Amino acid sequence: MNFLGKIDWFGRRRNMTRYTNADFGDDDSVNSVQLTEGISTSATHIRYHPGAKLWEVRSTLERILLFLAAFLFMVVIVLSIVVNVVEYHLQIAKQKEAKFESQLPCLNKSCVHIASNILESMDFSVDPCEDFYSYSCKGWVNANPVPEGKSNWGTFMKLEQENYLIIKHVLEQPIASFKSKAEEKAKMYYESCLDTNNTVETLGAKPMIDLIAKLGGWNVTTPGFSIKNWTLQNTLQIIQNKYSISALFSYGVGEDDRNSTRHILQLDQSGLALPTRDNYLNKTADHLKVLKAYLTYMTKIGVLLGGEENSTRMQMQAVIDFETRLANITTPSDQRRDEESLYHLMSLAELQEKSHFIDWRAFFENAMKVAQKKVSAKQQIVVYAPEYMGNLTKLIREYENTTEGKIILNNYLVWQTVKVFAVCLSKPFRDAYKGVRTALIGSDGSDEPQWRYCIQDTNNVLGFALGAIFVREVFDHKSKEQSEIMINNVRNAFKKNFNNLKWMDEQTRKLAIEKADAISDMIGYPEFIKDVDHLDEKFENLTLRPDAYFENNVNINFYNLRKNLEKINEPVNKTTWSMVPSTVNAYYTPTKNQMVFPAGILQSPFYDSSFPDSLNYGAMGVVMGHELTHGFDDQGRQYDKSGNLNHWWNNKTVDRFKQRTKCVVDQYNQYEIEGAKVNGNQTLGENIADNGGLKAAYHAYLELMNEQPEPKPLPGIPLNHKQLFFVAFAQVWCSTTTKEATNLQIEKDSHSPSPFRVMGAVSNLREFSDEFHCKPGSKMNPIKKCEVW
């Protein structure tokens, strides 16, 4: 019985202290209990009386004390229970409060600003599982029509314009405020472009007429022009080796694909004035409109330079016909993605046998004079289009057989030079191009202020000098270190995923990990721009004047050509940059196995130290993952960790890789916009990079947040931070564009249009569908997914 059990407990304590070693006889032994706990002798016993007898033998004082002891014990028990209950409820309350606190939005200034920008771009009426691009960007698209004078507008361009404003402000300062002679030259070139002294308008056509005379004359504009003493060899050497015009073919000095430690001569197809071969060969209404506008432009320029209109039009039509034949023998870009099949190393003597419309040794001897280098018949050259060069020989021979044909060839070569420098002439020459521009991209650019064009032009010419200004003015140097951390996190996530790729054999996987580890990353800017002496040395031999825009451009072309040719047979410096610091972009170079992220893109909305990690990884992290994946796309994978074109993959792994890339090609072939379908093969490398970059960045973000609490939500946005990661990725690509510019992009660009860069990537990522709870079979969660990396 419970009550007796309690009395027994108290009785034992009391009797043990008072009656140790006592024996009360055997008459009550039936009710005795022997205790051994804490007793020092086996003879110790305690006796008790059952029922009322136990209570009756107690004195009044004992009874009171027993009652108080029992009462106090009960109080202690009750209080203990109460305390535990209170503590429990307090703990629950604290948990609820913590949970409530975590669910409260972040309301500081930065969070409110970020949330506002995100919300303005979104459209919650769109189902994210059906069209994630519109869900993320429709608000932005509706609020941002293509500005007058432009053909497209988006996040990249908006940030680029902001960068230009910063540079403009500095370039408009007195020349005494500049830190280096290189920066002073940038200011002089900028002023020459603005034509602050009205020199360009005053000179009119004269600079071009003088240049044409140096080329030997032009039947379109030169009175009494004679083709009698004309040679293709001489004219090509002048326009290619003095003015750096890529007519009929292009050449230069670059890293040898098979031995990336050295520079080598390279030769490739070129020579079309219009952006794509489709502009000549595809006879749709839009393409015919472009050809008509092109002929009108050529005629206007010819007449402005002194030609008679009807004769000029007829001769220019003959030039278009010749370019059309060039287009016919030019290999389409989507068929030029296999780097190994493009690479053909040969001597100049071997090139001469395959393509003999000029003397190649004499041509390159002439070229190398400017660099004070010598060449021989054994000089090696990489030819990327041997079939084109052979067909070009046949085409040239056909035209050289007649006087009329020679005139057409010379007209073509001079026109290639005229069109390059016509933008450096007075306003009538610049306005003449508006018709072609409108036909090509849907905008004539008339509302574009001259200063903006001139900043862009100066950036193209002296970008590293402007880069010194830009970095000094706005670049947050802390972001360099933070970016390095993010790159390594993305790289680790990318490598970790290799273990999930069942199609890759173990040896190839091991080498792929080594290549990923070997990829170098350049962040912000090259160090030399902070060294005034080094920066000045880079542009030391470039002569510029603030009142000679046309002459400046001629000098720049020659300067760049000479600097390029000086590298022949020289070792490669794998730390050089090909992109200037203010650029809102990034790139990967396979021969250097190098990624570059200029200061221009390491800014909001791509990256900001005040942003949640979800937004930084969704925007800049994906850009980093994109460039990293380029080292393993259909072209980049052919180069090993040292940057050499090398068959380092297992053959069966290559076959399985190609099966997976075919899935990507087929997927993107189905995307259609403005009545035109995306070319899945032409855009394959960028599509692989988009998909791989998104996956690597997302898993890097998950790993980063693995041991961290969920950040506070952003105010007004009913999404968690994993979902915000994907929104940040999509909103990088919010953009508007004209129909013409979209069509041109599909024909020429290696990137898919923005909507498909978003939807294509998220629809292949299972984690996206899980996070947004997309039903299998929805557009963003198709049953068949394409996965390469």
Active site residues: 627, 690
Which candidate, 597, 586, 592, places its Cα nearest to that of 515?
592
- 657, 649 in Cβ contact below 8 A? yes
Bridge-partner residues for 587, per DSSP? 596
Beta-carbon count within 10 A of 531 CB? 14
Contacts with 735 (C-beta within 8 Å, 6 or more apart), sequence order: 137, 141, 152, 153, 154, 155, 156, 157, 754
Mapped onto helix, strand or coil, the DSSP state of residue 583 is coil
Closest CA to 154 of 137, 136, 135: 137
> What is the pairing mode between strands 152-154 and 735-737?
antiparallel
The CB density around residue 729, as the number of other CB atoms within 10 Å, is 28
Which pair of structure tokens corresponds to residue 302?
A: 């010819």
SS (H, E, C) 264-327: EEEEEECCCCCCCCHHHHCCCHHHHHHHHHHHHHHHHHHHHCCCCHHHHHHHHHHHHHHHHHHH
CA dist., res. 405 & res. 407, Å (int): 5
Q: What CA–CA distances, in Å, run from 703 to 79, 706, 719?
A: 47, 5, 20
Give Cβ neighbours of residue 370 (< 8 Å, ≥ 6 apart): 241, 558, 561, 562, 565
Residue tagged 């044909």 (tokens): 405
Residues in CB range of 295: below 8 A, 6 or more apart: 313, 316, 317, 320
Helix axes of 506-518 and 478-496: crossing angle, nearest 10 degrees: 180
Give the whole-angstrom CA distance, residue 161 versus residue 453: 11
Q: Say how many CA atoms lie within 13 Å of 385 toward its Cβ.
A: 21
Q: Is 159 exposed, middle or buried (0-12, 13-18, 19+ CB in 10 A)?
A: middle
Encode 533-549: b = buried (16+ Cβ within 10 Å), e = exposed.
Answer: eebbebbeebebebbbb
**Enclosing H/E stretch for 398:** helix 386-400
Distance CA(782)–CA(766), nearest Å, equals: 10
CA dist 438 and 441 (Å) reads 5
Q: What string of DSSP letters covers 319-380?
A: HHHHHHHHHHHSPPGGG---HHHH--EEEHHHHHHH--SS-HHHHHHHHHGGGT----TT-E
Tell me if 655 sits within 8 A of 725, measured CB to CB: no
Please report how the helices 232-241 and 403-421 are oriented relative to each other, as an axis angle in degrees rounded to 10: 10
285-304 vs 403-421: helix crossing angle, rounded to 10: 90
Angle between helix 232-241 and 360-368 (nearest 10): 30
At 571 the three-state DSSP class reads strand
